[in-house]
Structure 1
Amino acid sequence: MVDSELRSVEQHQRAILDDLEPMGAVAMPLLDALDLACAEEVVAQIALPSFDNSAMDGYAVRFADVEGASAQSPVTLPVVGEIGAGQAKLTALGSGAAAKIMTGAPVPTGADAVVPYEWTDRGADVVRIEQAPRLGQHIRPAGDDVTVGDLLVEEGADLGPRRLGLLASVGRATVMARPRPRVVILSTGSELRDPGRALGHDSIYDGNSYLLAAAARRVGAIPYRVGIIPDQPEAFLEALADQLVRADILVTSGGVSQGDFDVVKAALAPQGVWFGPVAMQPGKPQGYGRVGEDQVPIFTLPGNPVSAYISFQVFVLPALRKLMGKRPHVLPTRSARLTGDLTSPPAKRQYRRGDLVFDGTGLSVAPVGGPGSHLVGDLASANCLIVIPESTTSIAAGESVEVLMLEESP
Structure 2
Amino acid sequence: MALRSVEDTLHYLLACAQKRGTEVRGLAQSLGAVLAEDIFAQSNVPPADNSAMDGYALRESDLRAGEPMLVSQRIPAGVVGQSLEPGTAARIFTGAFIPDGADTVIAQEDCEQGDGVVIVNIAPERGQHIRPCGQDIAAGQLLLTAGHRLTSADLGLLASLGVSQVSVSASIKVALMSTGDELREPGEVLAPGQIYNSNRPMLASMIRSLGCDVIDLGIVADDPDATRLALVNARDSADLVISSGGVSVGEEDHVKAQVEALGELQLWKLAIKPGKPLAYGRLGDVPFFGLPGNPVSGFVTFCLLVRPYILAMLGVSEKSPPKWPASANFDWPKAGSRQEYLRARVTPGATGLQVDIHPQQSSGALTSVSWCNALAVIPVGATLRSGDLLEVIFLRDLN
TM-score of the superposition, structure 2-length normalised? Answer: 0.93
Match of 1:353 in 2: 343
- How far apart in 1 are the matches of 2:183 and 2:334? 31
- Secondary structure of the corresponding residue to residue 281 of structure 2: strand
Query: In the TM superposition, what are the counterparts of 1:101-140 in structure 2 within 5 Å?
Result: 101-123=92-114, 125-140=116-131
Q: Secondary structure at the match of 2:37?
A: coil
Match of 2:388?
Answer: 399
Q: Cα–Cα, structure 1 residues 47 and 124, in superposed 2: closer, same or farther, change >3 Å?
A: farther
Match status 1:156 vs 2:134? no
Where does residue 365 of structure 2 map in the other structure?
Answer: 375
Indicate conservation of the 8 Å contact 2:268/2:280, yes or no: no
Q: 1:28 aligns with which of 25, 28, 41?
A: 25
Cα deviations across residues 313-359 of structure 1 (Å, max 9, x unaligned)? Answer: 12101111212222322212111111111145543111121111112
CA RMSD of the aligned region, Å?
2.1
Counterpart pick for 1:280 among 272, 285, 288? 272
Whichever residue aligns with residue 137 of structure 1, its letter is: Q
1:188 matched to 2:179: yes
Tell me the secondary structure at the aligned position of residue 82 of structure 1: strand
Note the residue ranges of structure 1 that are not aligned, 5 or more in a row.
Answer: none
Q: Using the alignment, how far apart are the partners of 2:119 and 2:312 within structure 1?
A: 64
How big is each residue's C-alpha offset from its partner over 1:134-175, in whole Å with a ceiling of 9 and x where there is no partner? 222222221222212222112223322222212111221122
Where do residues 209-224 of structure 1 align in structure 2 (5 Å cutoff)? 209-224=200-215
Matched, 1:388 2:375: no
Q: For residue 299 of structure 1, what is the amino acid of its counterpart?
A: F
Q: Pick from 314, 321, 326: which aligns with 2:316? A: 326
Report deviation, 1:42: 1.4
Q: After TM superposition, give the deviation of residue 384 of structure 1 in Å.
A: 1.4
1:5 deviates by 5.2
Aligned residue among 229, 236, 243 for 1:252: 243
In the alignment, which of 4, 8, 15 is matched to residue 5 of structure 2? 8
Q: Of 43, 49, 56, which residue of structure 2 is paired with 1:52?
A: 49
CA distance in 2, matches of 1:182, 1:360: 46
Distance 1:251 1:345, change over 3 A: farther
Whether contact under 8 Å (2:303, 2:398) holds in the other structure is no
Stretch deviating more after TM superposition (128-137 or 190-199): 128-137
- Residues in 2 aligned to 1:134 and 1:390: alpha-carbon distance in whole angstroms: 64
Question: Paired residue for 1:297, among 287, 295, 299?
Answer: 287
Question: Contact 2:265–2:281 at 8 Å: present in 1 too?
Answer: yes
* SS of the residue 1:167 aligns to: helix
Q: Deviations over 1:190-238 (max 9, x none)?
A: 1111111121222211111122112222333333332110011211222
Question: 1:59 corresponds to which letter in structure 2?
Answer: Y
Aligned length: 398
- Report how far residue 370 of structure 1 moved: 3.9
Give the 5 Å matches for 1:94-105.
94-105=85-96
Instruction: Tell me if the contact between 1:115 and 1:132 (Cα under 8 Å) persists in the aligned partners.
Output: no
For 1:216 and 1:222, the matched residues in 2 are separated by 8
Structure 2 gaps of 5+ residues are none
Could you tell me whether the CA contact under 8 Å between 2:361 and 2:368 is conserved in 1?
no
Distance 1:262 1:99 in 2: 79
Give the whole-Å Cα distance in 1 for the aligned partners of 2:271 and 2:179.
Answer: 24
* Structure 1 Cα separation of the partners of residues 53 and 157 of structure 2: 22
After superposing the two structures, state which structure 1 stretch, 274-283 or 341-350, moved more: 341-350
Tell me, in whole angstroms, the C-alpha distance in 1 between the residues paired with 2:258 and 2:128.
Answer: 74
Q: Contact 2:27–2:165 at 8 Å: present in 1 too?
A: yes
The DSSP-based 3-state class of the residue aligned with 2:118 is: strand
Residue of structure 1 aligned with 2:83, choices 89, 92, 99: 92
- Percent same amino acid among aligned pairs? 37
Query: Are positions 1:234 and 2:225 aligned together?
Result: yes
* Amino acid corresponding to residue 370 of structure 2 in structure 1: A
SS of corresponding position for 2:247: coil
Among 147, 161, 171, the residue aligned to 1:170 = 161
